[in-house]
């Protein structure tokens, strides 16, 4: 009996490590995906703003004067230049380029944690189990995850709905691993 119990203890520890490492893997992957989605959303806003501002800038004023004289196009030009001005103000007020850079840093940070956890989990399958070594590595990764969470900044675009959609995407990607 004692040998059976002693033999199953490392297996139990390995199983526990498998479960807790997946939880942190999932959370890190979620933050990586959220950052990526925010980069894409803010990037589109950044691109649209730049294009509209360029189209309605003083260099394009001559085009505006021409359109101003054509019936119906006056309103198109007014709407375009008004939207461009509004987007330019929003772009500046929300510091869109800085937000994109910050989210890119978040994505990179959580991608490193996620891939390190993937490696740890592969090693759990393939290597001789050394509970102390795996625990130390996991605690270090968990600390990196915690530090990464501490560095996240709030973003008005990260709404509850935004997170739900990101989580649904992640669940779809990991459906074969989620029990």
Higher pLDDT residue, 177 or 68?
177
pLDDT 10s digits, 131-140: 999 999 999 9
Kindly state whether residue 42 falls inside one of the protein's structural domains: yes
**C-alpha separations of 123 from 32, 113, 118, 138, 170 in Å:** 22, 15, 9, 12, 23
Asked whether residue 2 is assigned to any structural domain, the reply reads no
158 lies in some domain: yes
In a domain, 8, yes or no: no
Q: Number of folded domains in the chain?
A: 1
125 part of a folded domain: yes
Fill in the DSSP letter of residue 59.
G
**Under 8 Å CB-to-CB from 43, ≥6 apart: which residues?**
100
Using DSSP's 3-state secondary structure scheme, residue 65 falls into helix
* Averaged pLDDT, 150-172: 96
Structural domain boundaries, residue 128: 17-173
3-state secondary structure of 175: coil
Whether residue 12 lies inside any domain: the answer is: no
pTM: predicted TM-score of the whole model, two decimal places: 0.80
Output 147 or 92, whichever has higher pLDDT: 147
Assess if residue 86 is contained within a domain: yes
What pLDDT, on a 0 to 100 scale, did the predictor assign at position 89?
A: 80
Which residue matches tokens 């501002």?
53
Per-residue pLDDT of 74-132, as tens digits, reads: 677 677 777 777 877 877 777 889 999 999 999 999 999 999 999 999 999 999 999 99
70 secondary structure, DSSP code: S
Residue 31: inside a domain: yes
**pLDDT of res. 9:** 60
As a whole number of angstroms, the distance between CA 10 and CA 166 comes to 36
Closest CA to 18 of 116, 144, 141, 118: 118
């Amino acid at each position: 009996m004692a040998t059976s119990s002693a033999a199953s203890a490392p297996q139990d520890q390995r199983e526990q490590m498998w479960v807790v490492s997946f939880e942190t893997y999932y959370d890190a992957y979620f933050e990586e995906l959220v950052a990526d989605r925010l980069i894409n959303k803010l990037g589109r806003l950044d691109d649209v703003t730049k294009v509209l501002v360029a189209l309605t800038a003083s260099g394009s004023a001559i085009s505006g004067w021409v359109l101003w004289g054509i019936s119906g196009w006056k309103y198109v030009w007014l709407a375009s230049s008004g939207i461009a001005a509004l987007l330019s103000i929003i772009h500046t007020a929300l510091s869109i380029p800085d937000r994109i850079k910050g989210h890119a840093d978040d994505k990179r940070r959580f991608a490193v944690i996620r891939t390190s956890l993937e490696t740890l989990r592969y090693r759990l399958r393939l290597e001789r189990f050394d509970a102390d070594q795996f625990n130390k590595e996991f605690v270090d990764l968990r600390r990196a995850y915690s530090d990464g969470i501490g560095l996240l900044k709030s973003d008005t675009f990260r709404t509850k709905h935004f997170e739900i959609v990101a989580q649904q995407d992640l669940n779809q990607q990991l459906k074969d691993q989620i029990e």
